[in-house]
Amino acid sequence: MNAASIAKKPTIQKRTVVRGRLPNANYRTREYLTEREGERLMKAAGDNRHGHRDATMILLAFRHGLRASELCLLRWEQVDLAHGRLHVSRVKNGMPSVHPLTGTELRALRRLQREQEPGRYLFMSERGPPMSAVGFRRMMGRLGKAAKMPFPVHPHMLRHACGFKLANDGQDTRALQHHLGHKHPAHGPIYRALAQTVPGLLEGLGIRLRDAPQLAAGSWAHGAPDERWPCPYPTIALGLPRGLGAKAAT
């Protein structure tokens, strides 16, 4: 043993690795958005340089429960404007499916196709490549601050919003599972739990559902359903935003 090692004092400080990120509950109280909050984000997107593109991304992510990567990888060959259909490809080994496109979405997509440069992907960035999932996440964070949301916003909240909206509207677990592309049937009841628990608690407090039509319809968190944008899908209809932002509306 040399003299340097003998002279070195032992370490008495416990050097533990500092944890970088805390659980989600430390940053926000919930992991989904309501319809009204989705409208606020779309309205805030109207002030962006590419407001129509950004608002359309939020609209499609909510209506079809798309993850950020699934949204950014959408190609025009997946969109059937003539018949109003969207061929959805899922990541994480999810089930692909065909979703209907409402009139709002068709008009938004046609305008998007007219205004941007010809390309393979739906949502292109200024520099030419398609929008990335990281770029969409950053954009959602900025829109959350611009819309004065009380908590940080991230793209996956739109997918959760879609699941909770369908569950609150009384959709069965099978239809919800198919719409979101879940292969395992255990994922569907996660969204249905909220729709079943809250009305039960209200009844326990003496609030009868027949005295509150909006609660009986299962849309207690979002208000009365919006019938101005009917969806041709036989089992699932989503209300969501009434426009594509203040400056992005046609």
Give the residue extent of every domain in the chain.
30-216
Catalytic residue among 43, 53, 67, 179: 67
14 is catalytic: no
159 is catalytic: yes
Catalytic residue among 156, 178, 187, 242: 156
Per-residue tokens: 208: 């009868």
Q: Is 93 left (phi over 0), alpha (psi -120 to 50) or beta?
A: left
85-to-56, 70, 200 alpha-carbon distances in Å: 16, 16, 37
| Cβ atoms of residues 86 and 63 within 8 Å | no
Tell me what pLDDT residue 193 has.
59
222 is catalytic: no
Tell me what pLDDT residue 238 has.
55
Catalytic residue among 159, 165, 179, 192: 159
Catalytic residue among 160, 182, 192, 222: 182
pLDDT digits (tens, 9 = 90+) for 152-189: 999 999 999 999 888 888 888 888 888 899 887 666 66
pLDDT digits (tens, 9 = 90+) for 101-129: 999 999 999 999 999 999 999 999 988 89
Tell me what pLDDT residue 55 has.
97
* Cα separation, 21 vs 26, whole angstroms: 9
Tell me what pLDDT residue 158 has.
96
Q: In this predicted structure, which of 10-24, 58-72, 176-190, 222-236 has the lowest mean pLDDT?
A: 222-236
Q: Taking residues 122-141, report their average pLDDT.
A: 95
Residue 38's closest CA among 134, 131, 137, 147? 147
Per-residue pLDDT at 148 exceeds 50: yes
pLDDT band at 216 (very low <50, low <70, confident <90, very high): very low
For domain 30-216, the CATH class is mainly alpha
* Cα separation, 60 vs 92, whole angstroms: 19
Which amino acid is residue 237, in one-letter code? A
67 is catalytic: yes
Per-residue tokens: 14: 């416990």
| Cβ atoms of residues 155 and 68 within 8 Å | yes
Catalytic residue among 92, 145, 183, 208: 92
32 is catalytic: no
Helix ranges, 116-154 (H): 133-146
Mean pLDDT over all residues of the chain? 78
| pTM beyond 0.95, yes or no | no
Tell me what pLDDT residue 5 has.
58
